[in-house]
Amino acid sequence: MLDWTDRHYRAFARLLTKRTTLYTEMVVDQALLRGDRDRFLPRNPEDRPAVVQLGGSEPEALAEAARIAEERGYDQIGLNAGCPSDRVQSGKMGACLMAEPDLVARCVEAMVRAVKIPVSVKTRIGIDESDSYEFLEAFATRVMAAGCDHLVVHARKAWLKGLSPRENRTVPPLLPERVYALKEAHPDWTVVLNGGVDSWEKALAHLERVDGVMIGRAAYENLWMLRGADAAVFGDAEGAASLPATQVDAVRAWYPYVERELARGERLKWMTRHLLGLFRGCDGARRWRQELAEGSARPGAGLEVVEAALRHVAS
C-alpha cells in the first residue's frame, strides 16, 4: 500500500474505527536509518494502534529500524515478505524473501531481540512454481520458530516475473483453504488471512477459520466501509454509536487534524486525495471528487475548499 496508507489516510480511518489495527505503508529500513524519520515514520498518535510495515533483508538494519519504530510509539512491527513488485524485489525485499526462509528467520530473530513489541511477517501462499501447501508450511514453520508473533498470509501466490503488481492481485487464484489448513495444522499459531476481503460478510466467514483478516485496497477504495468494523467484527455496538454517523460528519471531524497539518506547512491535496472515493455511490459524488481535487491543488488551499465540495453531497 505504498503511497496509500500514509499518515493522513490513517488519521481519517481512525475516525471511522477505533478497534481496527492500521498498517503504515511499507517503510524501507534504510530510509529510517539514513533518511528523514519524521517523513517516513512520523509520530502520529491519531492512528494508534498501528503496525509499522518494514521492508528489508538485513537483520541488523531491520533490528535498528524496529527500535526506531518502537521508540516512536508504534504497537507492532510487520516484515513484508509478500510484495511482488520489481522495485521491491530489486532491493531484496517482499515476496522474493519466501525463497530464503532462513534469512527471513534471522531477520525476525534480530527484530525480536531488539524490541519488546510483537513482530509479524506478511507473506503469500507461495511464489512461482513453489506453490504447494508443503512449501508454505515449511516457510511458516521456520519463521514462527524464530519468534514471529503472527503470520499475515495473502491467499494468492505471487509470480516474481511476468505479472505486474496489479495482476498479482487478481491473476493467481485465491486459495483461502491453504490459509485455513495452516491454522488447522497449527492451532497455537495466530494466522491472519489477506486477499479478496471486500465486505464484512466475507470477513466474518473467514473469521470462523482464522484469527484475523486484513483488508487492503477495499478499505481504501471504499473508505466508508471501515465505519462498520467496530460493530460487525468486534461486536462493539456501543462504541460504534459514538463514531461519525455520516460521511459529512466524518469529514468535519477530521478538520482539527487538517488544520494542524496545514499549520505545519503540509498541502491540502496530500490529505484530501484519500477522500476522493468517500462518497462513492452517493448523489453528488462526481462533483465532490472534481471540486475537491481541483480546489485542493491550488496554492494556499484550505478547509474552505473542502466545505465548498461538501455542498454537493451534504443535502
Could you tell me the CATH number of the domain that includes residue 277?
1.20.120.1460
Assess contact for 143 and 105: CB atoms under 8 A. yes
Side chain identity at residue 71, one-letter code:
E
How far is Cα of residue 273 from the mean position of the Cα atoms in its chain? 17
User: Left (φ > 0), alpha (ψ -120 to 50) or beta: where does 92 sit?
Assistant: left
- Mind listing the pLDDT tens digit for each residue in 239-293? 999 999 999 999 999 999 999 999 999 999 999 999 999 999 999 999 999 999 9
Exposed/middle/buried for 30, CB within 10 Å: 0-12, 13-18, 19+?
A: middle
d(CA 106, CA 23): 23
Q: List the catalytic residue out of 83, 96, 107, 148.
A: 83
The helix or strand, by DSSP H or E, that contains position 84, with its residue range, turns out to be none
Structural domain range at position 214: 7-240
Q: Are residues 107 and 134 in the same domain?
A: yes
Instruction: Please choose, from the candidates 132, 125, 127, the residue with its C-alpha nearest in 3D space to the C-alpha of residue 162.
Output: 127
How far is Cα of residue 222 from the mean position of the Cα atoms in its chain? 14
Residue 83 annotated among the catalytic residues of the structure: yes
Cis amide leading into 49 (omega within 30): yes
- Mind listing the pLDDT tens digit for each residue in 179-236? 999 999 999 999 999 999 999 999 999 999 999 999 988 999 999 999 999 999 999 9
For residue 1, is it within any domain? no
- Angle (CA) 307-225-269 rounded to 5° is 35
Q: Are residues 231 and 256 in the same domain?
A: no
pLDDT at 135 > cutoff 90: yes
Q: Are residues 95 and 210 in the same domain?
A: yes
Q: Are residues 158 and 285 in the same domain?
A: no
Q: Which of 215, 240, 265 is the last residue of a domain?
A: 240
Q: What is the 8-class DSSP label of residue 242?
A: T
Q: Are residues 179 and 305 in the same domain?
A: no
Q: Are residues 177 and 76 in the same domain?
A: yes
Residue owning grid cell 524490541: 115
Q: Are residues 226 and 270 in the same domain?
A: no
